[in-house]
Amino acid sequence: MSRPAKAVINLDALQHNYQLAKSLANRERTNGKVLAVVKADAYGHGAVACAKALSGQADGFAVACIEEALELRSTGIQQPILLLEGFFEAIELNEISRHKLDIVVQNPEQLTMLEQSPQPEPVRVWLKMDSGMHRAGLLPQDFRAAWMRLDALPWVSDIVMMTHLACADESDNGYTRHQLEVFEQHTLGLPGERSIANSAGLVNYHQARAEWNRPGLLLYGASPFETVHPIEQQLQPVMELHSAIISIKNIPAGSPVGYGSAWTSQRATRQGVVAIGYADGYPRHAQNGTPILVKGKRVPVIGRVSMDMLTVDLTDVPQARPGDSVVLWGKDLPAAEVARYASTIPYQLFCNLNRVPVEYAQSSIAVDV
């Protein structure tokens, strides 16, 4: 029998969350489009399976680099695919044109390479402004001139103007309003579609809902906000992380547990061992008290998370037995809540998933990946 740790990906939930994002995009306009962000293997959920599940709904997809895009194209995905970091060398442009990929241009070097590389097929360019995040993007004062240079190129079909919000996950943050004003000021009068909102921007800021929207985490059923937010009630978690109890013992009060003796029992304790650890992607820094579900009841993690195992207090679940399934995060235990216990974010929980077999579930169609 194989080790019991596994991740189950609910593709029906993914479709539900995409439609939720679509409904948010269309609150300000009737033609708000949504790119499903599936970079980093769809945040650990499986890019091919997720893109296939959304292929009948999504207006397009977004990935980090050409390798991720070509993987999707090789499996028959025909929708627009945007390279969020653009291209790194001019030689990539031939493949970009041939496979009809969209590109972000976010620095002067990319702009110059594109000018010097005529293409047989037109390419749609997403020109990125650094409106205040100060990561990737052209400075606002350079944006209009870059737009004019792109517009002069016969092999550029369309120019979508885009930016990225630094603090959209903080409700009513003044800096987000500042970024929106900067973007509006420096694109004023330029024709073309716009793209601003990530997951948090799509939920929190109606001014960020433009012709194109780029949700990522929201699609996977996790809240992008550090504190509890009403949107959580509308989301359906896509990933459920499972394992099982492999050992139970009774230890007396005063017994230290795990590496560094970081937790000591204050009472006689029924201690369980679960077959999952930080090598599987469960956060090593999950603090004592982090909940997991055993027979539908929350029980606390005790002691430090090990490479392959973690320990829990089963005293209040006397019916638990070795072999019983446990849930580390999922439908009744949001990944965002687990992340807060580990002083991290759900993005990292999902992306760090490793060594764990992945199963796909969908009610409507057979899943073939």
Question: Would you call 39 a catalytic residue per the annotation?
Answer: yes
pLDDT of residue 228 exceeding 90: no
pLDDT of residue 368 exceeding 50: no
Provide the residue type at 233 as one letter: Q
**CATH number of the structural domain 239-361:** 2.40.37.10
DSSP class of residue 167? Answer: S
The model's pTM is 0.94
The pLDDT value recorded for residue 27 is 86
What mean pLDDT do residues 68-96 have?
Answer: 97
Provide the residue type at 94 as one letter: N
The pLDDT value recorded for residue 366 is 42
**CATH class, range 11-226:** alpha beta
Question: Would you call 295 a catalytic residue per the annotation?
Answer: no
pLDDT of residue 173 exceeding 50: yes
DSSP β-ladder status, 269-274 and 239-251: antiparallel
The rounded distance, in Å, linking the Cα atoms of 71 and 141 is 37
Q: Which residue has the higher pLDDT, 328 or 31?
A: 328
The pLDDT value recorded for residue 26 is 93
Catalytic residue among 39, 52, 205, 278: 39
Cβ atoms within 10 A of the Cβ of 67, count?
A: 9
pLDDT of residue 257 exceeding 70: yes
Report residue 338: phi and psi, to 5°: -60, -40
Please indicate if the annotation marks 307 as binding a ligand: yes
User: What radius of gyration, in Å, describes the C-alpha atoms of the chain?
Assistant: 23
DSSP for 224-254 reads -SSS--GGGGT----EEEEEEEEEEEEE-TT
The pLDDT value recorded for residue 31 is 84
| Cβ atoms of residues 113 and 103 within 8 Å | no
pLDDT tens-digit series, residues 272-319 = 999 999 999 999 999 999 999 999 999 999 999 999 999 999 999 999
pLDDT of residue 367 exceeding 60: no
What mean pLDDT do residues 62-89 have?
Answer: 97
Which residue blocks in the chain are alpha helix, DSSP H? 11-25, 39-44, 47-54, 66-74, 92-98, 108-115, 140-151, 174-187, 199-204, 335-341, 346-351
Q: Domain ranges for the chain, please list them.
A: 11-226, 239-361
The pLDDT value recorded for residue 365 is 47
